[in-house]
Amino acid sequence: MLRLTVHRHFSTSSAFFANRAIVYHSNGNPRSVLSALTFPSLRSPPPNSLNIKYLLAPVNPADINVIEGVYPSKPSPTKLNSDNVFVAGNEGLAEVTGVGSGVSGFENGQWVVTGKQQCGTWRSGANVNVEDVIKVPKGASEVGAATITVNPATAYNMLSEFVDLKEGDWVIQNGANSAVGQAVIQIAASRGLKTINFIRNRENVDALKKQLEELGATHVTTYEELSQKSFRDKVKEWTGGKPLRLALNCVSGPETMSMARLLGSDAHLVSYGAMSKQPLSLPTSLFIFKNLKSVGYWQSRWYTERTKEEREKLMEVLVGLMREGKLKEPEHEIVTLGAGESDEEASNKVRDVMKNIMEGQYGKKVLLRLEGE
Ligand SMILES: NC(=O)c1ccc[n+]([C@@H]2O[C@H](COP(=O)([O-])OP(=O)(O)OC[C@H]3O[C@@H](n4cnc5c(N)ncnc54)[C@H](OP(=O)(O)O)[C@@H]3O)[C@@H](O)[C@H]2O)c1
């Protein structure tokens, strides 16, 4: 559990406004622990560093878990004003605004994303070590670039790193309407892979099915349909009996067991989330008789273990897909914390955003734009 001593309260004046960050002093419910904090202009960047201005930063499910203190990677405290605080946010798009001595290959205006985990992206400006950023090649939209390092990267790597899939092969996944799920659908389609996609039932389920099919999903179906005995025959009909060798899971719970039962021999079940908050329970027979491999995937680990060249290559591949129109930006809403708003107003706004996200009221990705100098 992270906890820092609190020295300051809200500034209600924007008279000295230069930069703003969304911060917390100790873990807890984001609706109560987050606040907006103004801080002064950045100094000229020290050697081997860059000053950056954040353009957009998404709110991902893991960000909430980090603030709650239940996520394995933790941020380090940062000194803003006289306070040590944790700055929230892990992902975001920034523009270079200052280049320190000893840095080559960067200029003002270059778009970058942060390769360092939990560096605190819900802020308007920051000074960063040049080694901690990755250049964004031209061709991505602002929203596309701001959401590229987590969800599309996870989707791409899960489709590439576990099973040697060939054109015409099948992939099954749950949580298919999640941002990762939508990236899986599109990246799979760009490679000629076919997908069976599971979603929760809802009032307008046909509209959602249609939306995912338009992204390139081969079949979209609900967990209710998955639980029916006849569903296995339907899958055989769809695939012509071709064995399924890769299943992607971000939900866990009983539905994932039903999905795993559809897999053929020597298949991989790759788990990357547990949105149902239920454990993952699998029949032992799948391991004994079908040689199932049940593994986890964590994009943060990938970034820690891989070289900067590998990270840059992944960025090029993903922006290349965006440029070709094969990977669209997620459905989103941008929430701006304006320079004219006091810290108290901005704090209330961000807490409302957290409340709505935690109550599942958006149904699309929310991105924060923190105005600064
Ligand atoms: N391991 C990694 O490296 C990695 C990387 C990226 C993301 N993730 C994880 O992947 C998951 C999805 O992330 P995202 O950013 O794509 O999320 P997102 O766009 O916010 O989507 C959330 C998804 O979870 C579903 N969901 C929510 N509560 C559920 C429940 N109780 N039962 C079943 N489904 C439920 C939602 O379905 P409805 O529309 O029906 O609510 C939606 O499909 C999260 O757990 C996230 O932490 C992991």
| Residue 176 resides in a domain | yes
Residue located via tokens 């060249």: 309
Task: Return the pLDDT at 373.
Answer: 84
- DSSP strands (E only) in 251-300: 268-271, 293-296
Residue located via tokens 């840059």: 312
Q: Are 92 and 60 in contact (CB under 8 A)?
A: no
Active-site residue, selected from the candidate residues 24, 71, 223, 297: 71
> What is the CB < 6 Å shell around ligand 1?
60-62, 150-151, 154, 175, 177-180, 200, 250-251, 272-273, 275-276, 297-299, 360, 365
Which residue in 94, 75, 93, 73 sits closest to 85, CA to CA? 75
Domain boundary among 300, 320, 353: 300
Residue 368: both structure tokens together? 């924060």
| Residue 10 resides in a domain | no
User: At CB < 8 A and 24+ separation, what contacts does 197-204 make?
Assistant: 197/172, 197/173, 197/221, 198/172, 198/173, 198/174, 198/222, 198/223, 198/226, 198/255, 198/259, 199/175, 199/223
Domain boundary among 300, 321, 340: 300
Q: Whose CA is nearest to atom 21 of ligand 1?
A: 178
| pLDDT (tens digit per residue) in 32-81 | 999 999 999 999 999 999 999 999 999 999 999 999 999 998 999 999 98
For residues 288 and 160, state if they share a domain. yes
Range of the structural domain that residue 206 is part of: 156-300
Residue 71 bears catalytic tag = yes
For residues 102 and 215, state if they share a domain. no
| pLDDT (tens digit per residue) in 178-204 | 999 999 999 999 999 999 999 999 999
Q: Whose CA is nearest to atom 2 of ligand 1?
A: 298
Q: How confident is the model at residue 2 (pLDDT cuts 50, 70, 90)?
A: low
Task: Return the pLDDT at 15.
Answer: 43
For residues 241 and 296, state if they share a domain. yes
| Residue 6 resides in a domain | no
* DSSP 8-state code for residue 358: H
For residues 289 and 163, state if they share a domain. yes
For residues 335 and 286, state if they share a domain. no
From 250, 329, 359, give the residue whose CB has the most ligand 1 atoms within 8 Å, as the site to mutate: 250
For residues 170 and 280, state if they share a domain. yes
For residues 205 and 337, state if they share a domain. no
For residues 203 and 265, state if they share a domain. yes
Q: How many domains does the chain have?
A: 2
